[in-house]
Structure formats: C-alpha cells, structure tokens
Structure 1
Amino acid sequence: MRILLAEDDLHLGEGLLEALQKEGLIVNLVSDGEAAQTFIESGLYDIVVLDIGMPIKTGLEVLRNIRNRGIKVPIILLTARDGLEDRIKGLDLGADDYLTKPFELKELVARIKAISRRIDTRSGKSVNEEIRFGDYSFNPSSETVTKDGVIIPVSKKELALLAILVQNAGRVVPKTQLLEEVYSTDKEMDTNTIEVHMHNLRKKINIPNFIQTIRGVGYFVQKDKVIK
C-alpha cells in the first residue's frame, strides 16, 4: 500500500515516515500543500495523511480542491487538539477520518488499516486497478508486473517509477518530480540513478518507445499505449 504523508513539521514528518515504512508501507513525504495536491493528483496513492496546517495551501484547501475534481482517494486529516471547527469542516469537505495531535503511531496505523479494509470490502480490490500496456500488466496494489501471466522481476524503485509514469501517461514527468517522489529518503541519489533504473525498466518492459526520454526535462509515456 502506498501512502502520501503531508506534514510541514519535518521532525514529526520524518519520524512518521520511518515508522510507517517499518510497518511495511510505501510512504512519500511532502511538506507543503501545493506539493501535496500535485502528488495526490498523480493517482499514485491509496491513502493520504494530510496535516491541516500546511504552508502555501492549507490541508483544507487541498482537500476541497481534490474533491471538487472528483478525486476520491481516502484522506486522514491531522489536526490540532483545539481545532474542532477544522475537524468539522474537514469532514464536511469529504475527509474520511481525522487524528488530533499528539497521537500514538499505533493509532494512525490502525486508522490506515481500517480504511484499507473498507476499501477492500466496498470494491473488492484496491483503489489502484490493474494497468495494461502491450502484453504487460501492472498491479500497483500487489506491486507486480506480468507478461502473459508470468511475473517480471522488477525492483521497488523501478516499480515506483513505472507507477508514476503510467499514472501520468500523456504528459512529461520531470526528473525533479521523480527524485522527490521515489528517492525522497535517499539523500545521495541524483538523476544518474534515475537513468540507470529507466534503462533497466526498458530492458524488462520490451515495448519499443514505451518510455521516452525528453532530453533535459524528464520522461514520457504515450497515453494511447496505456489501458487503465
């Protein structure tokens, strides 16, 4: 399961990031509302943990914007203990749950798991459906790529890159975005690392011109080559 954690307190955010990763979750951390909205709109995440008191755009502004655009990803709001009006407004805007600070990590994990179970019960599958391109299928929930039913060995980083590219098929994904989303906790990573992983992906997904390099900018997958 892939979680977006939007928290402007970097000390708290990095602590939550590390703790949630230890629970086996794939987590990306952003620290302002504008970045949070951009990442949510990528369609990559199963659940979003969103702090209300974010800079640039508040958590409530982000929540309102994505719901107005028809994005239904489950949202858990993080609020101050005295923020009753914010909690009410957040629920009215379409938040699925909330936690008041300070809170225990195990409670956040329990809320995430509860929402995950509701998703499974309601739809019978994860938020992310299987995505097909050529003879290949990609299931973001199980993190598997198959060709004609045979699993293709793909690393975690390669899977994360592939997910972003196919979810954004039809538009160029900048290298800077990939660095932030896929390598946010790897301080020594650079664009050369992305190029190595892209080279490996192209070898494993043997579709001519499937992943295109836009020199000096990023990468591009044609929309008509992806079936969601």
Structure 2
Amino acid sequence: MKIAVVDDEADLRETLRFALEKEGYSCDTYRDGEQAWDAFSRCLPDLAVLDVSMPRMDGLELCRRIRTISETVPVLFLSSKDEEIDRILGLEIGGDDYMCKPFSVRELTVRIKVLFRRLKAREKESSKAPYVIGHLQLDSEKYTATWKQSLLDLTVTEFLLLTTLARSPGFVRTREALMELVYPVGTYVSSRTIDTHIKRLRRKIQMKDEEFDEIETVYGLGYRYKQVGA
C-alpha cells in the first residue's frame, strides 16, 4: 500500500515516512499541495495524509481535487488547529479522519490501519449479491451505491453510514453507535461530526433525486432509514 504524506514541515515528513515504512507501507512525501497534486494527477496514492495549512495549495483544496478523481481514497487531515469548525470543514469536503498536532505517531499508524481495514472489508463481501431496498442498491464488492440506477459519489465513511442505516430499515441508530462504526476506538468526535456526514450524504443523493427523504432524523436519538412502504 502506498501512502502520501503532504506537509510543509520537513522533520515531520521524515518522521512519518520512517514510521510508515517501518510498518511495511510505501511512503512518498511532498512539501505542499501543489507538488503533491502534480504527482496525484498522474497516480493517486492508496491513502493520503494531508496537513490542512500549507503554502501554495492547502490540504483542503488538495482534498477537493482528490475527490474529483476518487471518492474512495482515504484522506486523513493533520492540523495545528483544534477547533470543531475546522474538523467539520475537513469532513464536509471529503476527509475521513482528522488529527490535531501534536499527535502520537503510533496513534496515527493505528488510524491508518483502521482506514485500510474499511477498504479491505469490500473483499470479504465479494461473494454477496448487492443489497437492494427500494430504489437504493448497495454493492459491497465494488463499494458502490446507486439510487434509481444512478451512481452516487460517496466516500468510504458515507458508504459505511448508508449501509448501516439501510440494512436496518425502521431501526434507530444512535450517533454514538454510528461513531463507533466509522472511527477508531478511543477517537473523540462530537455528535456534530456524524451530523455533518449525514448532511453530506443526503445532499449527494438529493442531487440525483430532490425528493429523497429516506434517511430520517429521530431527534434526541439519532437516525434511521425509512422502511419501504412506510
């Protein structure tokens, strides 16, 4: 697996490269978003670790560009800012995880392993037929979702959330239960983080069908997928 580390701090780039190669990964490093995009436009990495604040092109813009090519490459943001609004913004544009500096290199490698496990989960589902409920079809082999036969551009996190809700129609999934699904154990995220993912998920489906309302908010509890015919 090839990991790209994009950060304007040379010492941090080398520290992460050493740690990741020690774990058996191939690692390319870049000093800013512009240098990284030049490489990514030719060949995307299997996972990208992006510093939010960089000269020439920041991590947020680089993530936006990555998502124009792939919705499934995991993106983990690094930032010196510990503001909730910054975490939410990173997740809204397609990030899968967010760590604040300074951080534990060991924790970062664990989070990367979790992100890769999500991707590999599709291989375990390869023998299963696509799951269909109403107009929604979920293909765990290809990690794709379609609504009324129109392909949805979802991140891994969004696909996992949609799958969890759609496979239990009518049952409420609390924000806490959903957070346990999409984030590593011990990771702190607020309930607003899950709300942000759900908001983006709804918006993407509504771009295909303005009348989509299958994901229901159960105020004070969480979310549920509407039962067919309900």
Name the TM-score, length of structure 1 as normaliser: 0.51
Counterpart of 1:95?
A: 95
Say if 1:124 and 1:41 are closer, same or farther in 2 by CA, change over 3 A. farther
1:55: how far off? 1.2
Equivalent residues in 2 for 1:1-228, closer than 5 Å: 1-124=1-124
1:44: how far off? 4.2
1:40: how far off? 2.5
Q: Deviations over 1:26-73 (max 9, x none)?
A: 101001111122223333411110110111011001111221344531
1:6: how far off? 0.4
Q: Deviations over 1:158-204 (max 9, x none)?
A: xxxxxxxxxxxxxxxxxxxxxxxxxxxxxxxxxxxxxxxxxxxxxxx
1:123: how far off? 4.5
Aligned equivalents of 1:83 and 1:38: distance in 2?
Answer: 30
- Where structure 2 has 5 or more consecutive residues not aligned to the other structure, the ranges are 126-230
Taking only aligned residues, the RMSD between alpha carbons, in angstroms, comes to 1.8
Aligned equivalents of 1:68 and 1:91: distance in 2?
Answer: 15
Identity of aligned residues (%): 42
Aligned equivalents of 1:70 and 1:23: distance in 2?
Answer: 25
Name the TM-score, length of structure 2 as normaliser: 0.51
Give the residue type in structure 2 aligned to 1:46: D
How many residues are matched?
125
- Show structure 1 runs of 4+ deviating over 4 A: none
Aligned equivalents of 1:24 and 1:8: distance in 2?
Answer: 24
- Where structure 1 has 5 or more consecutive residues not aligned to the other structure, the ranges are 126-228
Counterpart of 2:130?
A: none
Aligned equivalents of 2:54 and 2:60: distance in 1?
Answer: 9
SS state of the match for residue 50, structure 1? strand
Say if 1:42 and 1:123 are closer, same or farther in 2 by CA, change over 3 A. farther
Aligned equivalents of 1:44 and 1:69: distance in 2?
Answer: 9
Say if 1:68 and 1:47 are closer, same or farther in 2 by CA, change over 3 A. same
Aligned equivalents of 2:46 and 2:79: distance in 1?
Answer: 21
Residues 49 and 78, structure 1, Cα contact 8 Å, conserved in 2: yes
1:84: how far off? 2.7
Aligned equivalents of 2:44 and 2:70: distance in 1?
Answer: 15
SS state of the match for residue 57, structure 1? coil
1:19: how far off? 1.6
1:80: how far off? 1.6
Say if 1:83 and 1:33 are closer, same or farther in 2 by CA, change over 3 A. farther
